[in-house]
Structure 1
Amino acid sequence: MSISYTLDKRCTEILNIVMYTTGYLKIQDLADDLEVSKRSVYYDISKINEWLIDNGIDPIIQERGKGIILHKEQVQAIQKTLNQTKSESILVFTPEERQRIEICTIIVRNHPLYIEDFMDTCQVSRNTIINDLKSVDTFLENYALQLTYNIKDGYRINGDIIKKRAVFFMLFPSLWHFYENHVIETFDAQKVYDILNTRKKIESELHAEYVSGILPALAVFLSTIQNRNDEISFSDMDEEEIIETNEYHLINKYFPNLKDHEKIYIALHLLGSRLQTIPVNVMKEEDKTYEFAKALVHEFERISYVFYDREEELINAINAHLKTSLYRFKYGIQLGNPMLNNIKTEYEELFELTKRACKILENDLDSLISDAEVAYLTLHFGAFMPTQKANKHAFRIMIICPNGIGTGNMLRQEVSTLVPQATEIKNIPLSSYRPNHDYDVVISTVMLANEQRLIMVHPILTDQDRVAILRNCMATEPQAKMQIDDILKIASNYINPDQLNDFHKNLQDYYSSIQVQKVPHKTYDRGLLDFLKGSHIQCVNSQVSWEEAIHISAQPLLDDGSISNDYVNAIINDQKNKGLYMFLADDLVLAHSAIENGVNRLDVSMCTFKEPVPFLNGQNARIILVLCAEDKTKHIHVLNDMLNIFSKKKSIDQIASLNSPAEIYSYIDKHIEK
């Protein structure tokens, strides 16, 4: 494979940022975002412009006082060039990408594979591949699989058939773009695309849309199926129910030579990866999904101290997700999540809380919930977070995101937070999109060639995406538009009509830029250490009752005016009357009550007790944390810090044994993940 290093990784990142930004982008903002100097950005842009000119595309424009910009025609030309090229711009694989390539290639191999094959595919040294394969072996151990080698057969992965397939479908979607752009040529490309076209016919006949990446993964899997003699049993599933589905009938129609168990297996993938919910019984435990969803939501609320106004709606959304996920958990049919890393980065706190809550689901199902699945559930929890009320001006936004219901809902929730003046924000399937709509703005994760009001974004919003949304919506929302129109009316008396359109555009750009000067970084506010200072940590040596312990622990918050006495009384009444014992772990209580019971602002206090405090449920507490939250999201960072520190019994024991607030603060400061 020949490799052309036309653009390095940072140049490609800059090019993508500029392509997905609506309006002008200041060099300083770009430098800040990439954490490099302005000089480095200028140097990278010069390299990008050389690449653009070499491919017959106009270079990036920089205008004094405004910044850099790529116009729509340039963006379309760049996308076309990248799609047609035989080698991708980013051609230096990360270690994780190499290891995923190695695993997926071995699982669906059609000939013996040796170190030299991986060296050729990944364009790295023998020692690098050897180290990769050690990491691969460690990774596979998590799934009770083993990497083996012999001189005749090369590298193989041994173990349960279902688990091997699960690993492939979990990992491959994140690699598809390498194969799609011919960066890697290890499969029969023509056969893969023939199968993919057939799968798209099935998608069309079912009037369905599928989670991004699942159809290519199935196409590659089917193109290599003749290499295997797998036998799969579905003992806990009603096979007759699956055989009656439209999915199975179409698989049987287009792939008649597949073995019956393979037809069922592929049909299960289609049922489980649709963006719409499929009301089909695929397991005997199907009727339990609502209870599983309810338990998961309640566990999330318990550990996050976020109580949803639309709780029942959230439970139903997760129930719908679980209805087509239970058999996947049972049979190891994994959905890869190409957005996993972005979700873990952009919604770190929510992801960690969701992962902790999923422990209850793992116990109920006796099955490991993968990070990819946790990420999808994270989007559901995030999508139902409270948002600001819209104002009375009519301003409608259409969202198109063919990456799953959870992703689309999370995108809608973020947009509603960014653009509170929007009176309607609606998710529309790509298949239902028509250019002749009456929405003010269209936010899409895919290119819409003829859309005049398009803001193109990533499925998980980047900071530049947020700026693009803000700038565009500020210039187009009704109140801003009225002001611009009034100025235009006055200006039309003094400006040549031929220049009025340019003046209009410049006015819109200016109006947006003065209101959005910096990238609005996402945050869930301050962490635990921002509050545990001075008198907010106490150590008590004498024996006290649980009511006294609550009063003592909450006193710093009362002294600072963060809460009123009503809040302390509400905590005690909850303990007595509602049975809310609030133990996060053995020896650890998180004392809290509802926001409306006397909270003035977000705050935290902590108290340790040398003599364990007996509570009404028979448990003893050596540490009491008092949390008061002013809304439903700002405390999430604090909560994650608490769970991070106090999830280990060793930490609870060590903190409880310390003798001063200074020692406790120092311990937390040293051991908290920053």
Structure 2
Amino acid sequence: MSVIYNLDKRCLEILNIIMYTSGYLKIQDLADELQVSKRSVYYDISKINEWLESNNIDPLIQERGKGLLINKQQSLAIQKVLNQTNDSLLVYTPEERVMIIICYIIVRDHPLYIDDFIQECQVSRNTIINDLKSVDNLLSKYSLNLSYDIKSGYRIIGDIIKKRALFFMLFPNHLWSYHEKNQLFQSDDVKNKKNLYLLRSIEKELQAEYVTGILPALSVFISSIENRNDELNFSDMDIEEIIETKEYQLVHEYFPKLKNSEQIYVTLHLLGSRLQTIPVNVMKEHGETYIIAKNLVKEFERISYFYYDKEEELINAISAHLKTSLYRYRYGIQLGNPMLDSIKTEYSDLFNLTKKACLTLEKQLDVLISDAEVAYLTLHFGAFMPQKKKNKEHFRILIICPSGIGTGNMLRQEVSNLVPQATEITNLPLSSYTPNHDFDVVISTVVLLNEKKLIVVHPILTDQDRVAILRNCMSTEPRAKMQIDDIINIAKNYIHPSQINDFRQNLQEYYSSIQVQKVHTKRHGNSLINFLTPNHILCIHQIVDWEQAIRISCQPLIDEDSITEKYVQSIINDQKEKGLHMFLADDLVLAHSAIENGVKQLDVSLATFKKPIYFPNGKAARIIIVLCAKDKTKHFGILNDVLEIFSKKKSIEQIVNLDSPEAIHRYIENSINKGTANR
């Protein structure tokens, strides 16, 4: 029997990274990406090599000074073996076993006991007993409880909507791939396959494409609810809107045995899980969701000090996303987000600003917005950030990303920044892809077996992904091709024809490796403490009016030659016209104006006032922070620090009570360092 599943997930991840990395991969880079020690990576490589040798595949070899390199023959052989291991023994992680047990109980159609979990998870009785404790702990976070009765076995007690939400949060994001390989939830295999076929038929009729794993999850769930007595309650307004959609009509046609409430519930999933923007057939185009989306964008612009050139397009994109999200919020339908951790890491500044902006969404809807939902909205905000200008040379890139419109747009924008020489970057759904195309490079988040120009990346790019993109695009873009061709033509006079191809390959590797050893994580911003030095901080004791307060607060930036007097006057004019616009919190004003109104360089100053400053809108401030940004996004890191520190009333009180710029600087520096350590 193959031992592939005796390798832990990190070994499999390392194997996949090596397989889809173009060129050499250093052990240190692997360790950095996986956030483990080099020793751990070496240990994992040895386990991978044992597996390779057991499957008659050449082991991985590290070349001194270069790193690991895998050839095409090895890669194809590995992929072939991986595809043939579906029936092998699978060792689940403890976290996966907990999720399996929960999902198994939720879709139960007969009493479940410890022996059932032992059989499904292939572990010992003691292991399952310990897992059940973890199950209970996880359920408690969602106000659910694990219950046991000798007649009915294990059950989950609590709100029906929450139980279902938990299933759809766990199964599509973590377990569906095992189900797809016939390794999970096979007791109703025939029924599941029939349901999946019907759902695929609906997908085809709608000409839609759904979030990965959602249709398999629905097929399993539908198999379990056909004979249930769950009572679901929907508002009359929602029922009226939903039954008018084509999604509902098709569910009603293909699943006539389901109760009407269950047909509506399945319809909600189809409406809320669609990758493409849904047709505007649920709500009026400028109705509730448009207003909410507009308020959200305005709030993001207010707190980020970034104003979108294509604001209306962004509002419409978020409005389309919210059309179905409102139903999900209302009825607890969780999509989850498999890219959440990556988005929080790779786009931390943008994610944090989006999360702050979503507070206004929570107030409007009176619901909690999960981090998974914030991550999806982060992609929308990021996708409409400005892109670098491209040159006029012909170089076309195709992007295949089944993870959704927001992810695809974000990926497109980052690729545009990485490869400014690209004259065209096109997003295409997986269903529309064909290997017969004329693009120079194909960047995909899934493996395309017949694609010769493929770069496989994560939905949220890692450092290794960026290096792979740069290497491939540098060796294939027109200018590099011309330089290589010129050198080859000269070399032909001195090199034997049999060596030309090898020489060309070495030359391409050399060109693609120049200055592409490491690519920095995509982050928008700098730290507040880098700019807010003690000479940029003022402590004011005398009584002044609000205009004087603005001028005093701006003075350090005038002295630093970061702004002109025009910028100061623009802040005053903006405050008169926009009122509350500059209040980030009670007692705190973020004074700023447009870049073109006299900004010379990115900078920050801060002034505290012992006597409150009353503004024309009636609100009072005791701290004024002046921000001037030369770039539209580089100040995001500064803003996140400001929001992190000054969102707490206690922090404002403590800072105002400090009597020297040096003390305030130390307080802010300690707060930032503490916040970084806790993240």
Match of 2:211 in 1: 211
Aligned-residue offset at 1:65:
4.9
Q: How does 1:395-414 map to 2 (within 5 A)?
A: 395-414=395-414
Would you say the 8 A contact 1:162–1:332 is kept in 2?
yes
Give the whole-Å Cα distance in 2 for the aligned partners of 1:659 and 1:606: 13
CA distance 1:83–1:660, change in 2 (3 Å): farther
Which amino acid counterpart does residue 172 of structure 1 have in structure 2? F
Match of 2:22 in 1: 22
Aligned residue pairs, count:
669
Which amino acid counterpart does residue 439 of structure 1 have in structure 2? F
Q: How does 1:101-180 map to 2 (within 5 A)?
A: 101-113=100-112, 121=121, 123=123, 125=127, 128-129=130-131, 131-141=133-143, 145-175=144-174, 176-180=176-180
Aligned-residue offset at 1:78:
2.7
Match of 2:419 in 1: 419
SS at match of 2:399: strand
Aligned-residue offset at 1:449:
1.2
Deviates more, 1:560-569 or 1:478-487: 560-569
Q: Does 1:533 align with 2:530?
A: no
Deviates more, 1:31-40 or 1:570-579: 31-40
Which amino acid counterpart does residue 132 of structure 1 have in structure 2? S
Aligned-residue offset at 1:276:
1.9
Would you say the 8 A contact 1:162–1:331 is kept in 2?
yes
Give the whole-Å Cα distance in 1 for the aligned partners of 2:432 and 2:77: 26
Which amino acid counterpart does residue 140 of structure 1 have in structure 2? Y
Would you say the 8 A contact 2:534–2:665 is kept in 1?
no
Deviates more, 1:509-518 or 1:494-503: 494-503
Aligned-residue offset at 1:311:
0.9
Match of 1:301 in 2: 301
Aligned-residue offset at 1:265:
1.8
CA distance 1:261–1:137, change in 2 (3 Å): closer
Give the whole-Å Cα distance in 1 for the aligned partners of 2:640 and 2:88: 39
CA distance 1:73–1:247, change in 2 (3 Å): farther
Match of 1:348 in 2: 348
SS at match of 2:621: strand
Could you tell me which runs of 5 or more consecutive residues in structure 1 were left unpaired when the two chains were aligned.
none
CA distance 1:540–1:475, change in 2 (3 Å): same
Q: Does 1:376 align with 2:376?
A: yes
Would you say the 8 A contact 2:586–2:620 is kept in 1?
yes
Per-residue deviation, residues 446-479 of structure 1 (Å, max 9, x unmatched)? 1111111111111111111111111111111111
Aligned-residue offset at 1:410:
0.7
Deviates more, 1:56-65 or 1:258-267: 56-65
Give the whole-Å Cα distance in 1 for the aligned partners of 2:86 and 2:155: 29
Would you say the 8 A contact 2:142–2:162 is kept in 1?
no
Would you say the 8 A contact 1:23–1:69 is kept in 2?
yes
Could you tell me which runs of 5 or more consecutive residues in structure 2 were left unpaired when the two chains were aligned.
none
Q: Normalising by the residue count of structure 1, what TM-score does the alignment of the two structures yield?
A: 0.92
Would you say the 8 A contact 2:349–2:523 is kept in 1?
no
Deviates more, 1:339-348 or 1:39-48: 39-48
Per-residue deviation, residues 76-133 of structure 1 (Å, max 9, x unmatched)? 43334334325899946264x4544443333222334456765773847367435413
Give the whole-Å Cα distance in 2 for the aligned partners of 1:466 and 1:146: 44
Match of 1:291 in 2: 291
Which amino acid counterpart does residue 173 of structure 1 have in structure 2? P
CA distance 1:30–1:254, change in 2 (3 Å): same
Which amino acid counterpart does residue 138 of structure 1 have in structure 2? S
CA distance 1:324–1:197, change in 2 (3 Å): same
Give the whole-Å Cα distance in 2 for the aligned partners of 1:544 and 1:122: 73
Match of 2:546 in 1: 546
SS at match of 1:607: strand
Would you say the 8 A contact 1:248–1:267 is kept in 2?
yes
Match of 1:636 in 2: 636
Give the whole-Å Cα distance in 2 for the aligned partners of 1:53 and 1:254: 49
Per-residue deviation, residues 230-268 of structure 1 (Å, max 9, x unmatched)? 132332445455445443343344333222222222122
SS at match of 1:224: helix
SS at match of 2:287: helix
Aligned-residue offset at 1:581:
4.2
Per-residue deviation, residues 5-59 of structure 1 (Å, max 9, x unmatched)? 6324443332222123122223343344445555554443232121112123333
Match of 1:608 in 2: 608
Q: How does 1:510-589 map to 2 (within 5 A)?
A: 510-579=510-579, 581-589=581-589
Which amino acid counterpart does residue 428 of structure 1 have in structure 2? L
CA distance 1:223–1:79, change in 2 (3 Å): farther
Give the whole-Å Cα distance in 1 for the aligned partners of 2:237 and 2:59: 58
Match of 1:645 in 2: 645
Match of 1:495 in 2: 495
SS at match of 2:138: helix
Give the whole-Å Cα distance in 2 for the aligned partners of 1:660 and 1:183: 65
Aligned-residue offset at 1:165:
1.6
Aligned-residue offset at 1:643:
1.0
SS at match of 1:325: helix
Would you say the 8 A contact 2:6–2:91 is kept in 1?
no
CA distance 1:639–1:650, change in 2 (3 Å): same
Give the whole-Å Cα distance in 1 for the aligned partners of 2:118 and 2:559: 65
Match of 1:333 in 2: 333
CA distance 1:260–1:46, change in 2 (3 Å): same
Deviates more, 1:181-190 or 1:314-323: 181-190
Would you say the 8 A contact 1:8–1:90 is kept in 2?
no
Aligned-residue offset at 1:363:
2.1
SS at match of 1:397: strand
CA distance 1:644–1:103, change in 2 (3 Å): farther
CA distance 1:174–1:613, change in 2 (3 Å): same
CA distance 1:102–1:637, change in 2 (3 Å): farther
SS at match of 1:351: helix
CA distance 1:119–1:548, change in 2 (3 Å): farther
